[in-house]
A = this chain, B = another copy of it.
Amino acid sequence: MNTFGNILRLTTFGESHGPAIGGVIDGFPAGVKIDFDLLQSMMERRRPGQSAVVTSRREPDDVQFLSGIYNGVTTGTPIAFIIANTNTRSEDYGQLADAFRPNHADFTYQAKYGIRDYRGGGRASARETAVRVAAGALAKQLLRQYGIEVCAFTAQIGEVQAGVAEGSCRNEVYCPDPAAAEKMKLAIADARANGDTLGGIVQCTVTGCPAGLGEPMFAKLQAMLAGAMLSINAAKGFDYGDGFAAASMRGSAHIDEFVADENHRITTATNHSGGIQGGISNGAPIQFRVAFKPVATMMRSIDTVNTRGEKVTLQPRGRHDVCVVPRAVVVVEAMAALVILDAVMMDRSHGATRFV
């Protein structure tokens, strides 16, 4: 179950402190010239050590392609790639061989498999998301060729919310509201000073999507997106359009009236629906949010139990993010790009009347 997608499929592998993590992208169309700059810029946005608000770990995260690309162009065969694990300090994790960190996957992996690679969280490490970003970068560039753009940003960190949803996100927290961005950085600094951590919310918009994407019944576009987002480490919730707020709205306030322009092209006057109706895109921007919990690892000593059920105290070690949200923005974007491209390909396969 390490494979994602229906026609466009990403299989990921790798533990945080093994030789490498990596992925295999299967079903990616042939003849696409890889945009290595876009790839690199997306990898950079996820990279640890990129700024003062994220972990100081430095990992170059170079993506090494092993197959599926010939002279810089995709060949239709599986695109495999690895990212070497170069900056691993396993000694930071020695105390974890026997202890279960709270809010981590140590206990559950042990319960499930009876064995675990405890170093750096092993398979459950958020390092795995680097693979998603690499794959998502390829999906994103192809979507661009189709006129579809996927763009996520930080909507909330701790209790600081962004007041706007558009504008440049070229700041350390990837938030389009400059004033909020400053407050977010302060909130992160404050939490760090207290050995504490923060959560937040990432918001994502997909523009340029034609009406008709998404496969009812169980592969509704929102179902695919929700599954994709909840598969990201630390994600706790997903909603789209008015989302949870819709629960307390009246129908008359939630309605998206259809309107037609002079060419009889039909759109909706508002977008409470978040661009999806009946599981299928309606041509309006697709909008959704993903909630992230505060980082589990805090720079404090933590009381917990070991594998024998005895009390132990863990000392703070390693280099960790105070808040995953700034680095999660591009992960959300990557997963959304994979979902949308998969839907495009699926739609194309069926569409007797449109595509034949």
A68 contact set on B, CB distance < 8 A: 13, 15
A222 touches B216 (CB 8 A): no
Tell me how far the C-beta of A80 lies from the nearest C-beta in chain B, rounded to whole angstroms: 4
Give Cα distance in the complex from A263 to B310, angstroms. 10
Q: Which of A172-196 contact B (CB under 8 A)?
A: 191, 196
Q: A12 in the interface, Cβ–Cβ < 8 Å?
A: yes
Q: Which of the residues B7, B24, B66, B219 comes within 8 Å of A349, measured between beta carbons?
A: B7
Residue in B closest to A65 when the chains form the complex, CB atoms: B19
Is A120 at the interface (CB under 8 A from chain B)? Answer: no
Residue in B closest to A142 when the chains form the complex, CB atoms? B352
Question: Is residue A282 within 8 Å, beta carbon to beta carbon, of the partner chain?
Answer: yes
The proximity string for A residues 10-37 relative to B, scoring 1 for CB distances below 8 Å and 0 otherwise, is 0111110011111010110111100000
The answer to whether A230 and B219 touch (CB under 8 A), given A7-B350, A352-B32, is no
Q: Give Cα A311–Cα B259 distance, bound, in whole angstroms.
A: 8
Contact of A114 among B30, B82, B196 (CB under 8 A): B30
Instruction: Tell whether A152 is near chain B: CB-to-CB under 8 Å.
Output: no
| Size range of the chain A interface in the assembly | 35 or more
This chain: copies in complex: 4
The segment from A50-58, A163-171, A298-306 found at the interface with B is: A298-306
Which residues does chain B contribute within 8 Å of A215, judged by CB atoms?
Answer: 1
Whole-angstrom distance between the Cβ of A316 and the nearest chain B Cβ: 12
Q: Chain B contacts of A66 at CB under 8 A?
A: 13-14, 18-22, 82
Q: Which 7 A-B pairs have the closest CB atoms?
A: A105-B278, A264-B309, A237-B239, A29-B352, A227-B227, A197-B251, A349-B349
- Beta-carbon contact of B230 and A237 below 8 Å: no
- Whether A349 contacts B346 by the Cβ 8 Å rule is yes
| Minimum distance in angstroms from A134 CB to a CB of chain B | 14
Cβ of A345 and Cβ of B356 under 8 Å apart?
no
Q: Are B211 and A107 in contact (CB under 8 A)?
A: yes
Q: Which residue of B lies closest to A68 (CB)?
A: B13
Q: When the two chains form their complex, are residues B76 and A115 in contact, meaning their CB atoms are under 8 A apart?
A: yes
Are B303 and A30 closer than 8 Å at their CB atoms?
no
State the CA gap A280–B3 with chains docked (Å): 17
Q: Are A230 and B223 closer than 8 Å at their CB atoms?
A: yes
